[in-house]
Amino acid sequence: MAVTVDDVRAFARDLPRSTEGVARGRLKLYIGRIVYVDFHADETIMGFAFPKEERAGLIASDPQKFLLPRLSDQRYNWVDARLATLEDDEMRELVYDAWRFCVPKRVAAEFERERGGPPMR
């Protein structure tokens, strides 16, 4: 079953400091003023924080699933994924890693300590 924007929102809701907002007609997930996930206006593509130096490898691993962000966003630590191609567990891992990439390390460590590890299920 394909992942939906609502699935992502439900998962991200429990992540500390995660908030939602809309900018330029696009739903975004924030940590403070930092965007860690956003959705294209048609809600078919999810962009997420991801290390630039690992981006080419991720895209090459499955080019039907992952793609470069628009040219103006390629300077950032960012990659896009087609929501319809993601499984739920995979979405959770990508969103969690994006959150962890942007949140202060101590916040992530405390969250994992309280939960006994990352909340992948």
Percent of residues in the chain assigned helix, strand, coil, to nearest 5: 40, 25, 35
Domain ranges, ordered by start, for the chain: 5-115
Residue 17: name the closest of 38, 3, 35 by CA: 35
Distance, CA of 86 to chain centre: 12
What local confidence, expressed as pLDDT, does residue 49 receive? Answer: 97
pTM for this model (two decimals): 0.93
1 pLDDT more than 80: no
Domain spanning 5-115, CATH class: alpha beta
What local confidence, expressed as pLDDT, does residue 76 receive? Answer: 94
Q: Would you call 2 helix, strand, or coil by DSSP?
A: coil
Q: Would you call 62 helix, strand, or coil by DSSP?
A: coil
Tokens 């609502």 belong to which residue?
A: 6
Overall average pLDDT of the 81-100 stretch: 96
